[in-house]
Chains A and B, each alone.
Chain A
């Protein structure tokens, strides 16, 4: 899943619901795998499929009008369980960016650690983007990581988004935290030797 990130232009899949929790992104009964692959098939499982496995026609992932590598979701996306399986499911399905007006902390880190970029925008930008996609499903967004901007091409609205310099560097160069931390093992040993309390 390690892949370099730069500028991405894509149509969007809209999910205009608030507080989408990780139990909805991937229900617990699908967490029993011991590998990271294949979770995309069960992304949003119970919103996407009926109990008999047939697709629910009105759910966005089953609507051919919506496609692209950008998922746009309501406020507080990814709340609840820490399961990284949610980020694996999003990445495995093919999404590379999630746009929302607010992300839950643990899930946000999980996305970043799987080279999915969480882009936090204002409520207003998000509302307009939902409107744009509703009136034209071919609406594209441009997410420019080097310049930290996101653009709604239908309205030409552009917004700056936050990401710390370290994580940005990791995404641009397809490096992960473990690569970084292992270069600094001496510092850990020094720390252990210096501390007084356990």
Chain B
């Protein structure tokens, strides 16, 4: 009677160290430029080479500018980090999709869309949003740089087996309520440490009815509840999404793979260490008002009373007060993108709201596709025309203003409605004030220049 998580994890255990961690075999290691240079340097210092270079995929995404990517990066420190990744990949014979490569983009967008990420796999990356890949039914989690070095050296990681949690969402999502709102709602209920120590499986009718893009958004935000990873049992939605994609198994291998993937679900009597259930019909479009992703409210609600010094500090930083509502407050920036909401469905949602309208004059909007592939889809579907007619410009792919390692920084004191994953102090630039929300809510704010209930546009 196994959980989905146990089935995949246990199939990858090389050995269990007495009174210690388990040695887990890793199918895919993804590397980006920020958390890998010290790992490659460590490898060199030990005189080692990657153990299974063919299973390692590298791409820069954090530092990449969102314009003029065909030119050298202006910031010399960013340029050095991106160049270092390219050099390391070449030296060690690893797969590398550099800037302007048609396969480049945010690693957590590229992995699933190219079907490098497949059900049943173990996947790690020096990035906490590796949890995203669990949406296809994989065990995927973020690791530190020392651990990246370990996986480079051995294709294995020593890791304590986490406890399991199932979050079941039943009912039906209301109008204008997306996977992003669902995740922000769960976080607001269980806090940013509510799932620490657990690996989460999302289940229930609402989760099953989500598109692959929606599932990726939900699993992406698992880490914001403290969970190393989130996952969803693969089903027809998953298989249809993967089939025919570049690295998906083909022909007889496909049939064999699907037959195996169909065994990946939690058995009926599987025991979880913790079970939570939520009713989707209670969820409204969500927005955050504070400085961690768990500080979210329904967009029509009032900011709750502060309960500790940390809450007081957060409201001071945001310049908000307990008891007030956010609707109608002016905003300065809108960011659509990131590994959370930088996929084609997010651009469709944003375009559906702004179609035939005009961007508010005083709002600066950054629309950043998650990959070149998403960019291509946007143009194929004609979304670029709708967005441009409404006064928006589509930028080039990368992590961009999610963590502002490139030029896309929100100035101190300014408000940004962002579809990304973190509203920490200074996340989008020193002093920047971030309000996390869905692409629909971001679009509504971009049109009105104020925090607006997106349902008024639907």
How far does the alpha carbon of A147 sit from the alpha carbon of B90 in the complex, in Å? 47
- Within 8 Å CB of B149, what residues of A? 178
- Within 8 Å CB of A105, what residues of B? 162, 196-197, 226, 228
- In this assembly, does A83 line the interface, its C-beta being within 8 Å of a C-beta of chain B? yes
Q: What residues of chain A have their CB less than 8 Å away from a CB belonging to chain B?
A: 16-19, 21, 23-24, 27-29, 31-36, 46, 51, 74-76, 79-85, 87, 102, 104-106, 109-110, 113-114, 164-167, 176-178, 180-182, 184-185, 187-188, 191-192, 195, 197-198
- Residue pair A104, B226 in contact (C-beta under 8 Å): yes
- Residue pair B405, A197 in contact (C-beta under 8 Å): no
- Residue pair A21, B81 in contact (C-beta under 8 Å): no
- Residue pair B35, A79 in contact (C-beta under 8 Å): no
How far does the alpha carbon of A81 sit from the alpha carbon of B130 in the complex, in Å? 11
- Residue pair A74, B310 in contact (C-beta under 8 Å): yes
Q: How far apart are B361's CB and chain A's nearest CB, in angstroms? A: 28
- Residue pair A195, B11 in contact (C-beta under 8 Å): yes
Select the stretch in B17-25, B371-379, B437-445, B446-454 that faces chain A.
B17-25
- 9 A-B pairs with least C-beta separation: A166-B20, A165-B19, A84-B144, A34-B37, A113-B146, A110-B144, A82-B128, A82-B142, A84-B145
> Which of B294, B405, B422 is the one whose CB lies under 8 Å from A31?
B405
Knowing A32-B77, A164-B21, A167-B20 are in contact, say whether A82-B127 is a contact too (CB < 8 A): yes
Question: Looking at A21, A29, A178, which has the most chain B CB atoms within 10 Å of its CB?
Answer: A178
Q: How far apart are B87's CB and chain A's nearest CB, in angstroms? A: 10
- Of chain A, the residue at the smallest CB distance from B13 is A191
List B239-274 residues whose CB lies under 8 Å from chain A: 260
Q: List 25 A-B contacts (CB under 8 A).
A: A16-B309, A17-B310, A27-B430, A34-B37, A34-B41, A34-B81, A46-B430, A51-B431, A81-B127, A82-B143, A83-B35, A104-B196, A104-B226, A105-B162, A105-B226, A106-B144, A106-B228, A164-B19, A165-B20, A178-B149, A178-B153, A185-B51, A188-B14, A195-B11, A197-B120
How far does the alpha carbon of A24 sit from the alpha carbon of B430 in the complex, in Å? 11
- In this assembly, does B46 line the interface, its C-beta being within 8 Å of a C-beta of chain A? yes
Q: How far apart are A39's CB and chain B's nearest CB, in angstroms? A: 11
How far does the alpha carbon of A195 sit from the alpha carbon of B154 in the complex, in Å? 17
List B12-51 residues whose CB lies under 8 Å from chain A: 14-15, 17-21, 23, 25, 27, 34-35, 37-38, 41-42, 46, 48, 51
How far does the alpha carbon of A67 sit from the alpha carbon of B456 in the complex, in Å? 55
- Residue pair A176, B142 in contact (C-beta under 8 Å): no
Knowing A83-B35, A106-B228 are in contact, say whether A19-B193 is a contact too (CB < 8 A): yes
Knowing A18-B308, A164-B19 are in contact, say whether A46-B425 is a contact too (CB < 8 A): yes
- Within 8 Å CB of A114, what residues of B? 146
